[in-house]
Structure 1
């Protein structure tokens, strides 16, 4: 067996591992990763476990993906300051189906056949008293409250932690036990916030069966504000569902990764060989202004998540928007304008409003990028507004002469924000 630990380590995909894991992985091993359906879409943080599953499968191991419809009823307290809001059964079922389809699509791109399971299939057959008697006896309260996820909630939250969330590690621990007995699964992989839950399963298997089990955690992907990407976390995420995060915005996320982080991300999010990544990093360091790594990663990710057709459109839209020459509009066809309109924030206005003209500040207020005319005016005075790639310094009257191809007006705010108006 090729050494999967070495592969994941140089890519920065290992945070902690249970003692003996490396020795176990010298032979074919079945592993699993769990996905809680607390949303109807995965996000870029959710890609890491999928990437790891693919790495294991490519190295000759067997990977399982577990969708936790049952655990979704409970809610993982890890890294949560407040208690979770319980989702209705029909919403969990809808989320489960949606995430299942996303995972299958992601795996199909790399031609990987990884088995998908749903823990509700076995938990619905278990009686509460049987579970408490046969599984609960292996968990001591003393040990459970010593775990960080529980301790933080007890110490830092006046509402404490409910018994429902407190029992989460039992449920996840049983998943590991069940898969160990039914699928001979010996290794669980999860984010670093899952260490307590993973070791709970390792201990449960040891105590109940006498067998050894193992676990690996990977570092979490952190937002610029220091928070992790999470399906139920407050704040903006970069979702895989194009209805929640547009393909253009998804592409721009990768394009805007800092030079400090991009060398880490190119290792984490691609399956490029070590040699190829070294060469890419070397070329990037020679000319960092060309953003070679950002473009390479953005192109790989947009094609994987949204497919070849959307990928081509988004890349074309990006090239048009960031082209500095205003003459580019003379060479664009209607299809390209439609793609721009579909992929960036937009608004429709009737042609008659431009016969007498509309003042720039009125349109900027309508765009939603500014909370008030005064805020828009400050951006105007700061030389941050472009109209059809021309810098605007005053509150001009926008007339039909400003319309591109008799249909569109393009605004740019600062260096990276765009807004387009369609006129009919």
Structure 2
């Protein structure tokens, strides 16, 4: 197995800007030449914001965290803003109003997200990450002061042209004043961080471009300084469908919400058409290795070498090497080339629950009955023939007796993998 790549910049690039462009991390930006010069010079302070609208960050946020990590490796100083203020409102969705969460819930989620950020960004050295919360400067601000000091710099006509606002204005539901004002709050964040820390760059998703430029424009009007923004492309599947909680297919960075096994399988199952793009965006592999993997996909796509490397590197970055090795072991064990008994309970549960065919059972349930219930066989007589032919196993141990039960065969006293033939599997949970 290939080793996990060190978390470092690719020395084949002259500047971190060139690497970000190669990685596909720049979909839109302010002046590219000015950014290249800025990022090739002395360390700057930059920021990215994460709103606590859920108890965990997700794959779209990981895009930004990796961009921040690359900039940090180049010596630049990251500010990670977890929006205790903006999280109380939420940025406008293109289709409908967000449901407002309780203040106590948002405050709790702030702490969760701050802890997650520290898993991916270093808090040591001269480029250590600094955590900031926009509730610290919005809570003391009166409405009148907000309108006088910040609101006066915004023009309603310009705000109405922002993509998210325009799409909501054209919808039957319209948009509330609260969500309409979100771009003003985010712009104020950039101004505050510019004044407090000299922050001159904000990164975000390309769908946030209107909010990003609200900040650069506010700094220009209030301070006479040209700040910068980078909008990264949205992460989509091979059909162009976005991954995210609003689409109902979020891949979470919290292991309790998306297990390391499920994370590993997510990367492993990516389409050949986008695996190169994902290798560039979500790993620290050098260009030379990515070129090799893309060529391997062209030469022998059935080997899925690029997907296996992507799954190893990305899952290790998110959950660590040990959890990734457990996920790999589970994947191998499910298909008969590994030891199911060596898996911990959490990994085994994730593996069993990932199978298309499922059944709950009592600890002494007959194997023959479960074969039929899970659809591995069409009838009990079909099941008896499969057992007689040596084609049935429980937890990779062949079943010879048609009267056999799960008794004594459950792993961790609860789980079983029922198999007919080599590749037809069902997950059994006797503890649900």
Distance 1:47 1:203, change over 3 A: same
CA pair 266-110 structure 1, distance change in 2 beyond 3 A = farther
Distance verdict in 2 for CA 1:59–1:423, change over 3 Å? closer
- Following superposition, the deviation at residue 420 of structure 1 comes to 3.2
Give the alignment partner of residue 269 of structure 2, picking from 231, 256, 259. Answer: 256
Evaluate the alpha carbon distance shift between residue 282 and residue 227 of structure 1 in structure 2; reply closer, same or farther with a 3 A threshold: closer
Counterparts of 2:256 and 2:314, CA distance in 1: 17
Alignment partner, residue 330 of structure 2: 317
Q: Does 1:6 align with 2:9?
A: no
Which structure 1 residue ranges, 4+ long, deviate > 6 Å from structure 2? Answer: 109-112, 412-417
Give the alignment's TM-score, normalised by structure 2: 0.82
Which residue of 43, 48, 62 corresponds with 1:33? 48
Query: 1:418 and 1:69, CA in 2 relative to 1: closer, same or farther beyond 3 A?
Result: farther
User: Take 1:345 and 1:200, find their aligned partners in 2: how far apart are those partners?
Assistant: 47
Which of residues 387, 401, 404 in structure 2 aligns to 1:401?
Answer: 404
TM-superposition CA deviations, 1:29-84 (whole Å, max 9, x none)? 2111111111111111111110011111111222211111110111101x430001
Distance in 2 (alpha carbons) for counterparts of 1:210 and 1:418: 64
The CA distance in 2 between the partners of 1:236 and 1:147, in whole Å, is 26
Q: In structure 1, the residue corresponding to 2:41 is in which secondary structure?
A: coil
Q: What SS does the aligned partner of 1:69 have?
A: coil
**Alignment gaps of 5+ in structure 2:** 1-12, 354-358, 396-400
Q: Number of residue pairs matched?
A: 396
Aligned counterpart, 1:95 = 109
Match of 1:215 among 226, 229, 240: 229
The 1:70/1:250 distance shift into structure 2, 3 A limit, reads same
In structure 1, which of residues 173, 183, 201 is the aligned counterpart of residue 197 of structure 2? 183
Q: 2:364, 2:407 within 8 Å by CA — same for their partners in 1?
A: no
TM-score w.r.t. length of structure 1: 0.83
Paired position in structure 1 for 2:342: 335
Counterpart-to-counterpart distance in 2, 1:177 and 1:299: 40
Q: Which residue of 1 aligns with 2:295?
A: 282
Q: Which moved more, 1:341-350 or 1:126-135?
A: 341-350
| Aligned-residue CA RMSD (Å) | 3.5
Paired position in structure 1 for 2:309: 296
Contact 1:402 1:409 in 2 (8 A): no
> Alpha-carbon deviations, 1:105-147, whole Å to 9, x = none?
2225999731111111111111111001111111011111011
CA contact (8 A) 1:44 1:238 kept: yes
**1:192–1:217 Cα contact (<8 Å) kept:** yes
Change (3 A) 1:415 1:51: farther
SS at match of 1:188: strand
Report the Cα distance in structure 2 between the residues aligned to 1:104 and 1:16, rounded to whole angstroms: 27
Secondary structure at 1:401 match in 2: coil
Cross-structure match for 1:369: none
